[in-house]
Chain A
Amino acid sequence: MKARIRKLVTFVEETRTEMGRTVDPPTLRAAAVAVIENPCAGKYVEDLAALMTIGEELGELLTRRAVAALGMPATSVESYGKAAAVGENGEIEHAAAILHPKLGAPVRRVLGKGAALIPSSKKRGGMGVVLDIPLGHKDAAFVRSHFDGMEVRVNDAPRANEIVVAVAVTDSGRPLARVGGLTKDQIKGEDGLR
């Protein structure tokens, strides 16, 4: 493994009620997070290929961990998202190098499908910085019930020379979704949008 991982963290959230109404079945969201050394910290590095390779590794590792934490088959995953936070000695471009060129393919391989863009967010910050991972339906980005987000944070990361990388998956949309739009049973699944 190219990535030097200091720690791996998983989060699972299960919502049973919302505004006093039972959510049945409960909605489940899980995120897997890696805290890694930033090999490009502290200096300007033109070629970010090393980070792209790390992104590919983490795409598989984190998706497997998140699905395992969800406790159901990968084919049950309905929405996904990804995010990264770079410590103060790194660049926002380092997060982009991890997230965008190569991380997506292994995510989709683990899930079996994933026609839609994987929504993402990134930032630079200190230890304990909050990442709001955007979530969208994995096969059709316009499914309105699945526009969502999951907050994760690791209190002792990222240190200045570290990067926090997160992948989130869910088995459903928002708990009591009711603002219309494209529904999941209307998905054509051809272009990743509808």
Chain B
Amino acid sequence: MPEVQLRKKFTAVEEIFHEGGPVSSVPLRRAASLAVIHNPFAGKYVEDIAGFMDDLKPLGLEMARALVAALGGDGKTVEGYGKGAIVGAAGELEHGALWHVPGGYAMREVLGDAKAIVASTKKVGGPGTRLDVPITHINASYVRSHFDSMEIGLADAPRADEILLALVMTTGPRVHARVGGLRASEIKGEDGLR
């Protein structure tokens, strides 16, 4: 399989103090790590692409570690995560699906024993395309306070023969979460759902 050719990395960190309501004693932090890589399958139909998932593993780990560092360095503070990909015009949606395994397992590995499936989304688009990366609790997908999202994108990516890969982590619930549902304090932590 081809090696991963990285054009650019990008990190965004949001620190949210309030959204019109009471100022939170602990600000919510959201971070996104983006990587723009060459799409080795661009411009043609390639049947056998799955091996590229292994090639992406080191990049996934690098991005997951960068996220923990961007959020202060302690993986225990991370409560939510998500991932996404934007495939350039000469690629297909399936190329974005290559990110599920290396992106998701990298975050689980770095965070220890995260149990929940990593929420994800993907699309094909041009430079400047925005992606709303979904976020859920790392141990129980049904925790309602942690349903969140973070918009990501880059003005100059993905070019036609590129893929923009994204990982996102958060440190807590929405800043004014108050619509009930399963709470983080009620997680059983057995099945990754509740």
**A interface residue numbers (CB < 8 A to B):** 5-18, 69, 130, 151, 154-155
Are B18 and A6 in contact (CB-based, < 8 A)? Answer: yes
A159 and chain B: residue at smallest CB distance: B20
**B interface residue numbers (CB < 8 A to A):** 5-19, 130, 151, 154-155
| A14 surroundings in chain B (CB, below 8 A) | 8-10
A28 and chain B: residue at smallest CB distance: B9
A16-B17 contact in complex given A9-B12, A10-B12, C-beta closer than 8 Å: no
Q: Is the interface of B mostly helix, strand, loop or mixed?
A: strand
Contact of A6 among B12, B19, B130, B154 (CB under 8 A): B19
| Additional A-B contact list (4), CB under 8 Å, known A8-B17, A14-B8 | A6-B17, A11-B12, A12-B9, A69-B11
Task: Provide the bound-state CA to CA distance between A9 and B16, in Å.
Answer: 8
A155-B15 contact in complex given A11-B10, A13-B10, C-beta closer than 8 Å: no
Are B9 and A16 in contact (CB-based, < 8 A)? Answer: yes
CB distance from A190 to the nearest CB of B (A): 35
B8 and chain A: residue at smallest CB distance: A15
Task: Provide the bound-state CA to CA distance between A8 and B18, in Å.
Answer: 11
Are B8 and A7 in contact (CB-based, < 8 A)? Answer: no
Task: Provide the bound-state CA to CA distance between A47 and B183, in Å.
Answer: 48
Are B7 and A13 in contact (CB-based, < 8 A)? Answer: no
B30 and chain A: residue at smallest CB distance: A9
A10-B13 contact in complex given A15-B7, A16-B6, C-beta closer than 8 Å: yes
| A8 surroundings in chain B (CB, below 8 A) | 14-15, 17
A69-B13 contact in complex given A15-B7, A17-B7, C-beta closer than 8 Å: yes
CB distance from A7 to the nearest CB of B (A): 5
11 contacts between A and B (CB under 8 A): A6-B16, A6-B17, A8-B17, A9-B13, A11-B11, A11-B12, A12-B12, A14-B9, A16-B7, A16-B8, A151-B155
Are B12 and A7 in contact (CB-based, < 8 A)? Answer: no
| B13 surroundings in chain A (CB, below 8 A) | 9-10, 69
Task: Provide the bound-state CA to CA distance between A12 and B13, in Å.
Answer: 9
| A12 surroundings in chain B (CB, below 8 A) | 9-12
7 closest A-B pairs by beta carbon, nearest first, are: A155-B151, A12-B11, A14-B9, A8-B15, A151-B155, A7-B16, A10-B13
